Structure 1
């Protein structure tokens, strides 16, 4: 989810964070609103077999046995989650969840066209969907029209659940078709090859380990499954925007639940080993600039 620093909203730099009209600057995407542009399809070779829940290379740091649906609330799993995402005070989680529920409406309105085109790729192809960093559930409306869809919403902030459930009810997604799981993207308590699609919007900016999160995405996806993503990313090197992102990044991480302003998330996704990838760029402009202006979005196939 988008981690806008609350402190920044109370300072002069808050002007940098308001979101204005959405404009595309991509060079290669059929998903964009710009005509006569084609998607960039990057072939990737994916090894046979499935990855373990936690790769052996990280076993020493995060010791745990593979998880499954029957042990979502096991002590081992909760201990693992706490190692990755340190517990926050209840007052902070409630305040942050409430803030995200009320402050993102203008952003969602501007990005809706892009999301609609992305989620259209799931129509008729995905009955079991995992959303990492589901937050308050702004994406639920895009696949709620499928009465057979089963959505697993993962988020480490347990206070997000009531807002996500309210969002599900508002768009007609039956409660039996939605399960909120208090978890982190780096350790998803679902079986290998268990979902048709994974959705992640404005979440990889905040995970502790992007590579581990993407390995989990690939692990739980069925062969041929789709990963849909929308992320704000670092500006180009040498720009004024990149300078300010670098200056304010430590503060952003502190007050915005781990959000990084300078992550080059596109590079992580491009090298994650997906069979194919459509990766596009867009910008959110507001004078004089926006800290979260540069975006990437697209679809990867497992």
Structure 2
């Protein structure tokens, strides 16, 4: 067995849940406008000038489609089948060509150095192995390519938000299909070997306290 096949077999396959899957698809569809209103200034900055072919890790129900130009192509790496119908409908409304791939983000199946832009929002919190996902993103990006991200992160120690993250970690993770509100994703991106990383820290003011510390940024190969 080769090293790559050993690594691939170590990544557990995404297992859709008959209860949480439909719930999350409906939740993010219903909450999309509210979340988008809070995140829009940060997305507008990091998603400005997207190329006509974009790979998105975990697009869900299509919250980021408005940032793609009409007629562009989105390669959607989305393993959760309960998101697919809403994602297809949203892409059709936005007149974006959708290449939907029900793969895990650790193994996209795309060729080395084949893409110019990868985006993610609120998804590195829930992947099984964020370091493996970031390595995969680097692998598929061509020289000069960019990874553009908007993510929620662990709060500073000693803060009420950090205490809430600790207290709610298990029910939060169960409800949102493995989502962790305690990941140092800035550290993970900076350690992933990109040529440069720019990160903005900010805080949302929503009822979802563990979700409010956030980062947005651009990593370049």
Is the structural similarity TM-score above 0.5? yes
What's the TM-score bracket when you normalise by the shorter of the two chains?
over 0.9
**How far, CA to CA, are the matches of 2:69 and 2:202 in structure 1?**
26
Q: How many residues are paired up?
A: 220
Residue of structure 2 in register with 1:60 after alignment: 6
The yes-or-no answer on 1:158 pairing with 2:77 is no
Matches within 5 A, 1:165-184: 165-173=88-96, 177-184=97-104
Alignment of 1:113-262 (within 5 A): 113-122=41-50, 126-145=51-70, 147=71, 149-173=72-96, 177-262=97-182
Give the unaligned 5+ runs of structure 1.
Answer: 1-54, 64-79
1:109 aligns with 2:37: yes
Give the SS at the match of 1:277: strand
Largest Rg, 1 or 2: 1
* Equivalent in the alignment of 2:22: 94
Alpha-carbon distance in structure 2 between the residues aligned to 1:197 and 1:242: 32
Aligned match of 2:220: 301
Query: How far apart in 2 are the matches of 1:255 and 1:121?
Result: 34
Unaligned runs of 5+ in 2: none
TM-score, normalization by structure 1: 0.68
Q: Shift of the alpha carbon at 1:94? A: 2.3
Residues of 1 paired with 2:30 and 2:77: CA distance?
A: 20
CA shift for structure 1 position 192: 1.0
Equivalence map 1:1-12=2 (5 Å):
none
User: With structure 2 as the length reference, what TM-score do the two structures score?
Assistant: 0.92
The answer to whether the 8 Å contact 1:141/1:168 transfers is: no
**Structure-2 separation of matches of 1:89 and 1:117:** 35
Partners of 1:270 and 1:89 in 2: CA distance: 33
Cα deviation digits, residues 96-151 of structure 1 (max 9, x gap): 212211122111022112211222142xxx23211001100010111133x3x221
Q: Is the 8 A contact 1:214 1:272 kept in 2?
A: yes
Partner of 1:120: helix, strand, or coil? coil
Q: Give the secondary structure class of the aligned counterpart of 1:97.
A: helix
By relative contact order (CA 8 Å, sep 6+), the higher-ranking structure is 1
Deviation at 1:95, TM superposition (A): 2.8
For the pair 1:291 / 2:210, whether they are aligned, the reply is yes
Q: For residues 89 and 167 of structure 1, what CA distance do their matches in structure 2 show?
A: 23
Answer 1 or 2: which has greater strand percent: 2
Distance 1:105 1:272, change over 3 A: same
Q: The residue matched to 2:6 in structure 1 has which SS?
A: coil
